[in-house]
Structure 1
Amino acid sequence: MTLAPVCDTEAPIARVNPVAKLAAVAAVSTTALIASDWLTPLLLLAALLAAIPFSGIRIGELARRLRLLWFAALTVVIVNAVFAAEQTGQMLITFGPLEISSGALLGGTAIGLRVCVAATAGVLGFATTDPTDLADALTQQLRAPARFTLGALAALRLMPLLAAEWQQITSARRARGLEGGWNPLRRARLFASTMFTLLVGAIRRAGRLAAAMDARGFDSEIPRTHAREQRMRPADWAVIAVALLVCGAAVAVSAAYGVFTAFD
């Protein structure tokens, strides 16, 4: 696990200012979450997929990062279709107590598509952004407090270490014969104890890191300088404008077809 960009650093989207990418991701995700129809998030998802060649991300790496999120979206579709409050429209599946209608399936699909849009937009944004560049942009463009930004950056940098420690703990326990096997209760207990061990280690490391950062003056009120300047260029504003234009076009097309609804 790594937080370094998994893309070609010379790709057009990779060169965009991190704040501009955050604004574009926020615009697309907010539009998808506000629209409760199926067509608006579908159009937004198509636009995101069309932007993949400009991101410089390898398809295999992108699929690896999205597989669990899209699986969660599929689960959302199934759960909402099966447990819908009302089964409206044509009945598609009737198997004992299980009933799925076209209306329930369409409603579940709309929710699943919204999840896919938010997940894909977030992965495209963060997989093409270096965490240090993001922290620099937050403090320079958005004037975010340096203490908060640097603390968040340090936490992000520690996430790969947590993944490595998880592997070490599980490998050490497996070497001692502590495995859950096919027993779900035993596996649950091992998972809980491993999580507790990892949490204790993370808290101790966070305390030491906070003390070290304070000792080095990270909590100082003196204005900080930046080694790398982050500026909003015309291309960055163009990315935000294109994102807003795509959101407006998706809503307009859905409204023209008479399916657009919001805040459902």
Structure 2
Amino acid sequence: MSLMTPEIRPSAIARVNPVAKLAVALLISCALMLSIDWVSAAVALALEAILLAWCGLNARQFWLRTAPVWIAAPFGMLTTILYGEDSGAVLWSGGWVSITEGSVALGLAIGLRVLAIGLPGIVLLATTDPTDLGDGLAQVLRLPARFVLGALAGLRLVGMFIDDWHSLALARRARGVGDGGGLRGKAARFRSLAFSLLVLSVRRGSKLATAMEARGFGSDEPRTWARESVFGRRDGLVVLIGVAIAAASITAAILAGTWHFVLA
């Protein structure tokens, strides 16, 4: 199963080496983790939004894939505003919950950070084929082939596990098993399906490991690759764009006076 589904139209980002995409996501994430302020996160998010037009996702695909981030960001913001460290003027107080200027600023920074870190990671992953990622990790980064191929094989089984879950649910429904209503019935049905999927996964994993070992995937000899993974000028340009976004966000926060190094 490919993470880059057929519905995603070819785009400039899709043709970039996966190692470059991974480097961009790590650069932006590390830069935003150095400080917790709203200016750096807002600048990074604004610059990322400009580049989303080249990601190859239409509006529906973008909102569906990034929905968890859009849900997590407001919850993180609200939790921090209500229960974060109090500082500055008190805006509202009720019992053991208080809202201050400092907690509001911190909540805004947390919410923007979740979006700025999560959105590019999801979008870049959506335009990456697992096989291309494995080729890049093994040929460009020189990671051990056994680790890369094992992770690639496991990633490709995710789609099969989803299909197995639906098949097991339909089979149990056809037999009239686990149709009990209420919360207790749903919990029992979930436990039964999860255990069945676990057994099926162990069996399939054992067969896959044996098959890969028989084909020499466990050998320590140097491997050849069906497709060459090249890190070219275009990939280097993408990494430079990631460096520019990280540098711009940090610079803007320092100039605005909101930069607070978390390790200081």
The residue matched to 1:56 in structure 2 has which SS? Answer: coil
Kindly provide the amino acid, as one letter, of the partner of residue 166 in structure 2: Q
> Conserved in 2, the CA contact under 8 Å of 1:29 and 1:121?
no
1:199-230 CA-to-partner distances (Å, cap 9, x unmatched) read 22112211110011001111122221122111
Question: d(CA) in 2 for partners of 1:43 and 1:107?
Answer: 16
Identity %, equivalent residues: 37
Instruction: Tell me whether 194-203 or 124-133 shows the greater mean CA deviation.
Output: 194-203
Q: Distance in 2 between matches of 1:246 and 1:30?
A: 12
Shift of 1:195: 2.0
2: CA distance between counterparts of 1:139 and 1:222?
Answer: 14
Instruction: Give 1:44-83 correspondences, 5 Å limit.
Output: 44-83=44-83
- Matched letter for residue 161 of structure 2: L
Alpha-carbon separation, structure 2, partners of 1:60 and 1:126: 17
TM superposition shift of 1:155:
0.7
Letter in 2 for 1:151: G
Distance 2:33 2:111 in 1: 11
State the match for 1:178 in structure 2.
Answer: 178
Distance in 2 separating the partners of 1:33 and 1:189: 41
Matches within 5 A, 1:62-211: 62-84=62-84, 86-95=85-94, 97-175=96-174, 176=176, 178-179=178-179, 181-183=181-183, 185-211=184-210
Question: Residue 195 and residue 81 in structure 1: after superposition, are their counterparts in 2 closer, same or farther (change >3 A)?
Answer: farther
Query: Which residue of structure 2 lines up, in the alignment, with residue 33 of structure 1?
Result: 33
Question: How many angstroms does 1:96 deviate by?
Answer: 5.2
In the TM superposition, residue 101 of structure 1 has moved relative to its aligned partner by 2.7
1:121 maps to amino acid:
P
List gaps (5 residues or longer) in structure 1: none
What is the SS of the residue equivalent to 1:14?
coil
Counterpart of 2:101, as a letter, is: S
- Alpha-carbon RMSD across the aligned residues, in angstroms, is 2.1
Structure 1 position 108, deviation (Å): 2.1
Structure-2 change in CA distance of 1:122 and 1:190 (3 Å): same
Q: 2:251: which partner in 1?
A: 252
CA contact (8 A) 1:135 1:150 kept: yes
Distance in structure 1 (CA, Å) of the matches to 2:198 and 2:141: 32
CA distance in 2, matches of 1:42, 1:240: 20
> Secondary structure in 1 aligned to 2:218?
coil
The separation in 1 between residues aligned to 2:2 and 2:111, in whole angstroms, is 27
Distance 1:193 1:107, change over 3 A: farther
Match of 2:8 in 1: 7
What amino acid sits opposite 1:7 in the alignment?
I
Map 1:204-223; keep pairs closer than 5 Å.
204-223=203-222
Give me the TM-score of the superposition, normalised by structure 2: 0.90
Shift of 1:170: 2.7
Query: Segments of 4+ in structure 1 off by > 6 A?
Result: none
1:162, CA displacement in angstroms?
1.0
Q: How many residues in Structure 1 have an aligned counterpart in Structure 2?
A: 261
Q: Alpha-carbon deviations, 1:29-74, whole Å to 9, x = none?
A: 1112222111111211112221111111112111111112221222
Gaps in structure 2 of 5+ consecutive residues: none
CA distance in 2, matches of 1:131, 1:247: 26
Residue 253 of structure 1 and its aligned partner are, at CA, apart by: 0.7
TM-score between the two structures when normalised by the length of structure 1: 0.90
Give CA deviations for 1:155-214 in whole Å, capped at 9, x if unaligned: 11100111111222233344426246442x443333233222222211221111001100
